[in-house]
């Protein structure tokens, strides 16, 4: 144990998908030293597999759209079991997040007048999904990565080291959240390549490890979605809520076996596709 690799940060973010990268940007911009840990390569999170787009009531295609209608659609889609405050924040803030992505370098598809295009999607009253062809998640992650590098370059000028205040630790799996005197004190994990163990000391840990869908045999989720964060949080004493809710895509590949379960984009239904049986 004397040779244990150790690091110390203000914030450790576990996960480099859309959620983790956005949290890391916010923490760094607030002046904190941040570590981002992910068990795959940087830029390979499940988020890159999101195809359809990001729902935001910008009203670019139908100007009747607004956050209240988006909020209603979200609550209705969730059979009114959703956490209404989360649904409200999502509906209110998503247009700003789309603009933010554009300011950071994302390039969404356009309407004929040059506005950000929005497409139909199941459960949404109006065309609402900002998209980049069918590779929206890839563009989102590419943009967030670019933002992380821009912040690192800024730190490079100030501190003569690009990684002094914001560093990515790829291919490192976190196995435990460390607590001291009842409080979160860091995380413990191992390098996937060597198996060597690593300790991160940090008074704040953000869990952004994605979903749990890969626990099913046939799934549209990437290999990473094994619910690690749920387990880490539970073991650290957190309460998990609404665990019975899982999204299953109704349209997926059947053949060939190598791609079984891979998503056929949900927007096929938004564009009028109908699900039938053999009859
Ligand atoms: C096929 C598919 C298509 C989708 N399309 C859309 C869409 O069009 N629009 C939409 O809004 N949503 C879509 N979704 C949902 C959306 O993709 C996810 O909700 C979103 O990407 C989750 O982002 P995230 O940052 O929470 O997690 P992820 O992108 O899954 O990232 C999780 C991160 O955590 C890391 N991690 C996990 N466990 C550990 C560990 N133990 N140690 C270290 N790191 C760990 C992973 O390496 C990864 O970096 C789709 C989902 C699927 C399955």
Residues 6+ away with beta carbon under 8 Å from 29: 151
Whether 50 is in the pocket of ligand 1, judged by its Cβ within 6 Å, is yes
CB 24 within 8 A of CB 36: yes
Q: Give dist(CA 101, CA 21) in Å, integer.
A: 12
Nearest CA to ligand 1 atom 50: 50
**Peptide linkage before 256 cis (omega within 30 of 0):** yes
HEC sequence for 240-261: CCCCCCCCCCCCECCCCHHHCC
Q: What is the pLDDT of residue 1?
A: 54
- CA-to-CA dists, residue 120 to 125, 127, 274, angstroms: 8, 4, 14
- In 102-171, which ranges are E strands? 118-119, 129-130, 166-169
Q: What is the pLDDT of residue 2?
A: 65
3-state secondary structure of 227: coil
Which atom of ligand 1 approaches the CA of 225 most closely? Answer: 30
Which atom of ligand 1 approaches the CA of 136 most closely? Answer: 8
CB 270 within 8 A of CB 119: yes
Nearest CA to ligand 1 atom 3: 50
Q: Catalogue the active-site residues.
A: 249, 269
Q: How far does the centroid of ligand 1 lie from the alpha carbon of residue 45, in Å? A: 6
Q: How far does the centroid of ligand 1 lie from the alpha carbon of residue 181, in Å? A: 32
Q: What is the pLDDT of residue 114?
A: 96
Per-residue pLDDT of the chain (279 residues; tens, 9 = 90+): 568 999 999 999 999 999 999 999 999 999 999 999 999 999 999 999 998 899 999 999 999 999 999 999 999 999 999 999 999 999 999 999 999 999 999 999 999 999 999 999 889 999 999 999 989 999 999 999 999 999 999 999 999 999 999 999 999 999 999 999 999 999 999 999 999 999 999 999 999 999 999 999 899 998 899 999 999 999 999 999 889 888 888 888 888 988 898 888 777 777 788 878 888
Q: What is the pLDDT of residue 254?
A: 87
Q: What are φ and ψ of residue 68, in 5° steps?
A: -65, -40
Q: Give dist(CA 228, CA 221) in Å, integer.
A: 14
- For the chain, percent helix, then strand, then coil, each to nearest 5? 30, 20, 50
> How many helices and strands, by DSSP H and E, does the chain display?
6, 11
Whether 74 is in the pocket of ligand 1, judged by its Cβ within 6 Å, is no
- CA-to-CA dists, residue 168 to 6, 164, 252, angstroms: 15, 11, 33
Ligand 1 site-directed mutation target among 224, 233, 249, 271, most atoms within 8 Å of CB: 224
3-state secondary structure of 90: helix
Q: Is pTM, for the whole model, over 0.85?
A: yes
Nearest CA to ligand 1 atom 18: 47
Q: What is the pLDDT of residue 16?
A: 98
Q: What is the pLDDT of residue 248?
A: 86
Say how far residue 222 (Cα) sits from the centre of its chain.
13
Two structure tokens written together for 122: 């199941």
Q: What is the pLDDT of residue 51?
A: 84
């Amino acid at each position: 144990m004397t040779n244990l690799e150790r690091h110390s940060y203000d914030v450790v973010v576990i996960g480099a998908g859309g959620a983790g990268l956005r949290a890391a940007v916010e923490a760094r911009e607030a002046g904190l030293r941040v570590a981002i840990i992910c068990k795959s390569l940087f830029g390979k999170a499940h988020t890159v597999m999101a195809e359809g787009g990001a729902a935001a009531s910008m009203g670019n295609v139908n100007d009747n759209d607004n956050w209240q209608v988006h909020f209603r659609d979200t609550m209705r889609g969730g059979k009114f079991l959703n956490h209404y405050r989360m649904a409200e924040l999502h509906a209110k803030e998503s247009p700003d997040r789309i603009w933010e992505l554009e300011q950071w370098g994302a390039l969404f598809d356009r309407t004929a007048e040059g506005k950000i295009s929005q497409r139909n999607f199941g459960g949404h009253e109006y065309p609402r999904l900002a998209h980049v062809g069918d590779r929206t998640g890839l563009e989102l992650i590419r943009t967030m990565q670019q933002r992380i590098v821009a912040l690192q370059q800024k730190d490079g000028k100030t501190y003569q080291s690009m990684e002094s205040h914001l560093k990515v630790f790829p291919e490192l799996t976190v196995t435990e959240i460390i607590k001291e005197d009842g409080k979160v004190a860091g995380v413990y994990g191992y390098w996937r390549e060597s198996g060597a163990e690593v300790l991160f000391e940090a008074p704040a840990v953000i869990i952004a490890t994605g979903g749990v869908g890969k626990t099913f045999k046939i799934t549209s989720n990437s290999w990473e979605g094994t619910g690690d964060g749920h387990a880490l949080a539970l073991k650290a004493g957190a309460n998990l809520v609404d665990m019975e809710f899982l999204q299953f895509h109704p349209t997926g590949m059947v053949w060939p076996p190598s791609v079984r379960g891979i998503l056929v984009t949900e927007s096929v239904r938004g564009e009028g596709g109908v699900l039938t049986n053999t009859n």
